[in-house]
Each structure stands twice: as C-alpha cells, then as structure tokens.
Amino acid sequence: MVSLGDNAPDFTLPATNGRTIALADVVMDHGAVIAFICNHCPYVVSAARRMAEDAQTLVGEGIGFAAVCSNDAVRYPADSFERMKVFGEEFGFAFPYLHDESQDVARAYGATVTPHFFGVNSRGRIQYNGRMDAGQTGTPPEGSPRELVEAMRQIARTGEGPSHQHPPLGCSIKWKS
C-alpha cells in the first residue's frame, strides 16, 4: 500500500476507448487523480455523475483524471470490460476508464474499496488517499465540500495534500480467488 509522499505506482492498462494508457499519460501539469471504481457498486453508481463533473472541472484546471476497474469480472460480470464501456458512456466519462484485469494496479496502490481516490502531484507523488465527498450512496448533504476537488486544487497550488483526509467508503474490491 502506498503512503502519502510515495511515488505513484506506474501502470499501463487498456482503456474502454481502445487506447492503452500509462500513468504518464494521465498526469498533467498540476497532477492527476487515479480513481478505483466499478460498475455495480451503489456507492459508485451514486457518485458517477458527480465524479464525471468533478473530473471535467479538474482536467480544465490542468489535473488529469483516470478511473480503474480492478474487480474480478468472472465472478462479477457487471464489471466486465464490455460493461465498463457501457457504464462510461452512460455516465458521460470524458476520462480514460481502465481495466486492471490482473488486479496488480489495485494492489500496488492499496485500493480497498470502490470508489477509492488517489491524488498525485505534478512530480508523481501520492498526496491524497480518500473519498470524493460525503455523498456515500446519495447526494452529499447541503453545503458539503467537494473534498477531492478541493484537495487537488491544494495539491496543484502547493504540491502537498490536505493534512486531514477522509478514508474512502464503498464496496470492497472483488478480488480473484
């Protein structure tokens, strides 16, 4: 599992858009977000539109964004590569949605649940490890901060993440036997 300040584990994974994406393709001038998600978890489904909107905001500010599905698609067919394509289209993902069939990338990052967000600074070091917002399986409470967006803006300004970070909450990653 990575710790804050560690180099983000590199990866090269197939994307639903037909390309192969590496970490270097995601990191922009002010950093990047690597989000571990899936297609069937109610926490992810609830957050998918907000995540797509936040990703668009961040990319517009020079912060890259990619999502990774690492779930065992044999035992959970809703998380198959073909279903990932449909899910990304349904929720308007303008960012790469990557398939981690081996689950090596999830293990390297120490991802535990979906959704689980990692923020990387422009030097490729992990500065955020937590949730997107307080939404859980519904809309965030009125006045709740956009935690991931605010953390990434701080990382873009200072190179370091916030001192207080909420742990991710969601469905466990579906590991292969």
Sketch out the chain's domains with CATH numbers.
Answer: 12-172 (3.40.30.10)
Does this model's pTM top 0.95? My answer is yes
Q: Exposed, middle or buried by CB within 10 Å (0-12, 13-18, 19+), for 4?
A: middle
Q: How far apart are CA 122 and CA 124, in angstroms?
A: 5
Mean pLDDT within 165-176: 97
The pLDDT tens digits for 108-147 are: 999 999 999 999 999 999 999 999 999 999 999 999 999 9
| Residue 1 pLDDT greater than 90, yes or no | no
The pLDDT tens digits for 53-68 are: 999 999 999 999 999 9
What average pLDDT does the structure give for the chain?
Answer: 97
- Residues 6 or more apart whose CB falls under 8 angstroms from that of 27 comprise 64, 120, 122, 124
- Helix (H) or strand (E) holding 86, with range, is helix 81-90
Rounded to 10 degrees, the C-alpha dihedral 15/9/129/64 comes to -50
The pLDDT tens digits for 65-102 are: 999 999 999 999 999 999 999 999 999 999 999 999 99
